Amino acid sequence: MEKLIFTILQRGVDPHFVQLFNAVITNNRFKKQEMTMKAITLEAIRMEPNFVDLYFILGTCLKVGESVQLPDGDILDREKLFLKVIHSNPNKWNAYYYLAIEEEGNESVRLLNGKKMTKLQLLLKAVELNPTNEELYISMLSFLEKKDLENESVTLNSGETLSYKQILLKIISLSPRIAGIYVALAAKLKDNFESITLLSGEKMDKQKLSLHAIKLEPDESDFYLFLADSIEGSHATVKLPNGRTMNKKQLYLQAIKLNPISESAYIMLAKEMKKHDTIRLPFGEMATKRHLYLKALNINPTHDCIYYYILEDFQDWETITLISGRVMTKQAIYLQLVDINPGKAINYLYLSQTLHSDTETIMLPSGEHMTKRQLMQTFEFVQDRYHQITQGINPTDPSQQSKFLDAFNNYVAIDKNRNHMKDMAVKAIELSPNETETYLALLLTLKPGETAKLHTGQVVDAKQLYIKIIELDPNLLDAYVNLNECMGNYESVTINGKRLSKMQVIAKCVELNPNESDYYAHLTTYLQETNNVEGYITLNNERPVSSHDKAEGKLQRCSHQPGEIDGQQRNGNASQQLLQFTGEFSANLYACTQSQSRGPLCLRQSDIFSGK
């Protein structure tokens, strides 16, 4: 009870509650009863219904969504109890704080006076009322992390603006013995050479911050991993606060000693070793590089990166025995990787390479059987869809890593539930048949060559979906780009009652983006593949370009009636003009654009459509 009372006092509760609690506990009615904190608080409220801090204590006794009946008959849940406290005393920082850190519920709360406050505003109000409480700033860090705002600043009600790093510095100044904050600050430094000045004036780099954390908590395994990361080179050493000197390997061994199930410690130690090295672990066991990876895998069997580390020096004919006793071939490992992460395209590519013939099939964890060719098609499909969903996000940018992971996890979720997502997209088309987004959603669920049945009964493939999108938005460039990829050289399509050949579709791409070199290069490829000697290509200026002649005895070249391309007067043959737009001026580079190895138009990763 004493520890609990101390905790409540730390929450800013008036010490008068202790007197009331003692009165309740010593009351003859309750002497023989084992009372919960909630029961004690309710009885105290019965004794002093106007002591507002009791309602706060009662709120902390409830779970989110739980309600309680007060002695006066009112039924209030946790949130309403805190709102009651604020209404009775607008300066109770603890009530604002608890409302702010509620994990469930709405992002904003309406006070009993009608004022609406977001969770951040509630937290800032708590800081305003109690600016020296480090716990409030720690909660501010959690809020920024949860909202992916670690690179943003927060402006306090006092007008002071704090970045994530400055909040960490603020916490250290208020409570310099919280070891984890030093490590969190170390993690925010760009490299081992960057340093930061504490509010006390002391200058510290990543290594000094990690050492200080170890000084405060010498038995925390993760701190030794951070310290090891601050050492440049395998043979460099660092002196610990206890006087011992250690290199990287010794620090990883120390981390394992303190936490034998530290997955990261085994992985990092293995990465410091050569293939045939052995090392004695803290409990006497001898381990090779591979055995360390197996230990990490035994701790976390779904960590795909560990399998990749094992595969770095894994021969095709080898097998590996996991600590669980399971024997795995290279093919079995790639099947396991597909099972762990079906959204990682490269797994399908590597799995296809384990099949010895084009007719051999393999059963995926999903139960689907695939040939070598089907695995390759799945690789291309997954890779394209991955780029679509993560477009505009740089996974190597620390500020975007959280956003990248969210997008990637969303993608994996889509992949695992593809048929369900396909049905949902079809339903979306039924509800909003004139919205391009609904057709785009369906495209995301289709594998190469796959079709979908719409609510009308019509069976559509990717090409028909692109046609529909263009009919709804005739100026959507990417739809034409992807439609072109779906068409054969001599094929035509009907869009809004107008017949368009493949050449006209490419010309439309040029019209919509005359500065993209790929489209001009693709026109030259089209001329070569269709042997278009006397035909015409009409660009966006409606001036015809004819093709004739041979280039150096190898290539079809084009000449045209003098006119304009992209608004500029250009003379000579059309193929040369097209090459000027691609930036490939030499005959050799022109030949490259015509070669069979070039294949179809190479799209940018920024394209947002599938069916490539």
**CATH code, 75:** 1.25.40
- In the predicted structure, residue 542 carries a pLDDT above the cut 80: no
- Beta-bridge mates of residue 280: 286
Res 111 pLDDT > 80: yes
Question: pLDDT of 209-235, one tens digit each?
Answer: 999 999 999 999 999 999 999 998 878
- The reply to whether 276 falls in a domain is no
Question: Of the residues 385, 416, 447, which one is the last residue of a structural domain?
Answer: 416
Last residue of a domain, one of 130, 154, 170: 130
3-state secondary structure 275-342: CCCEEECCCCCEEEHHHHHHHHHHHCCCCHHHHHHHHCCCCCCCEEECCCCCEEEHHHHHHHHHHHCC
**What CA–CA distances, in Å, run from 33 to 28, 30, 136, 330?**
10, 5, 37, 65
Within a domain: 461: no
In whole angstroms, give the CA distance from residue 20 to residue 54: 10
Q: Identify the domain boundary among 416, 431, 447.
A: 416
Contacts of 507 (CB under 8 A, 6+ apart): 523, 537, 538, 539, 540
Instruction: Give residue 388's domain range.
Output: 314-416
What residue ranges in 487-554 does DSSP mark as E strands? 492-495, 498-501, 536-538, 544-546, 550-551
> Based on the structure, what is the number of domains in the chain?
2
| Residue 462 forms part of a structural domain | no
Asked if the structure places residue 307 within a domain, the reply is no
Residue 550 main-chain phi, psi, to 5 deg: -125, 145
Per residue in 573-588, pLDDT (tens digit) is 444 444 444 433 223 3
Residues paired with 246 in a beta bridge:
238
d(C-alpha 31, C-alpha 25), whole Å: 7
379-397 pLDDT, tens digit per residue, is 887 777 767 666 666 655 6
Distance CA 512, CA 481 (A): 10
Q: What is the pLDDT of residue 515?
A: 86
The answer to the question of residue 308 being in a domain is: no
Q: Is the pLDDT of residue 260 over 90?
A: yes
Least confident piece of the model among 154-158, 350-354, 574-578: 574-578
Does position 402 have pLDDT exceeding 80, yes or no? no
131 band by pLDDT with thresholds 50, 70 and 90: very high
Mean pLDDT in residue range 488-508: 91
Q: Is residue 84 part of a domain?
A: yes
Residue 121 confidence (pLDDT): 96
Q: What is the pLDDT of residues 30-53, one digit of tens each?
A: 565 667 889 889 999 999 999 999
Share of the chain above pLDDT 70, in %: 79
Confidence class of residue 546 from pLDDT cuts 50, 70 and 90?
very low
Burial bucket for residue 173 (CB in 10 Å: 0-12, 13-18, 19+)? middle
210 in a structural domain? no
Q: What tokens does 284 get? A: 């006497």
Is 533 domain-assigned? no
Full-model pTM = 0.65
What's the pLDDT tens digit per position in 271-300? 999 989 999 999 999 999 999 999 999 999
pLDDT digits (tens, 9 = 90+) for 468-477: 999 999 999 9
**Quick check: helix, strand or coil at residue 569?**
strand
Q: Is the pLDDT of residue 489 over 90?
A: no
